[in-house]
Amino acid sequence: MQDPEPYLRLQSIGVSCLVYPTKKARIDSSMRRVIGHDIFYFSSGQAMRQFDRDPLRYVKRLSDPVTSDRFRVTRSSPRLEYRNRVYYFASAGEQGMFDGDREKYRNRRSASVVEIDE
């Protein structure tokens, strides 16, 4: 994945902090977390640490790494860790497809910068 920060800055794209939605997230690689193909930015190190303790408390929808479809993630969603990144799947079938050819699905051309789901 190429770093999206230069593009986001060039386009003047801003996002809210996932943990503190009233605060603006810092578009900086040191302030981001990636789950599967989705990117999340935070307003502070404290917000990132809080997110790291329980990401599913804040993340409501993710992109399935096989189909790219958005789905509601739950604690029982199929999950796989690969190359220091956690991937969640809409179903066990997609997880099986990913597991069968991990490198094919590991990266996506354009990862999603995620806004807060209502």
**23 phi and psi angles, rounded to 5 deg:** -105, 145
* HEC-encoded secondary structure of the chain: CCCCHHHHHHCCCCCECCCCCCCECCCCHHHEEEECCEEEECCCHHHHHHHHHCHHHHCCEEECCCCCCEEECCCCCCEEEECCEEEECCCHHHHHHHHHCHHHHHCCCCCEECCCCC
Q: What is the mean pLDDT of residues 2-18?
A: 85
For residue 4, the model assigns a pLDDT of: 84
Q: What is the pLDDT of residue 23?
A: 97
Mean pLDDT value across the chain: 88
Tens digit of each residue's pLDDT (9 = 90 or more) over 54-76: 999 999 999 999 999 999 999 99
Tell me how far the alpha carbon of residue 100 is from its chain's centroid: 22
Residue 118 confidence (pLDDT) = 45
Task: Tell me how far apart the terminal alpha carbons of the chain are, to the nearest angstrom.
Answer: 27
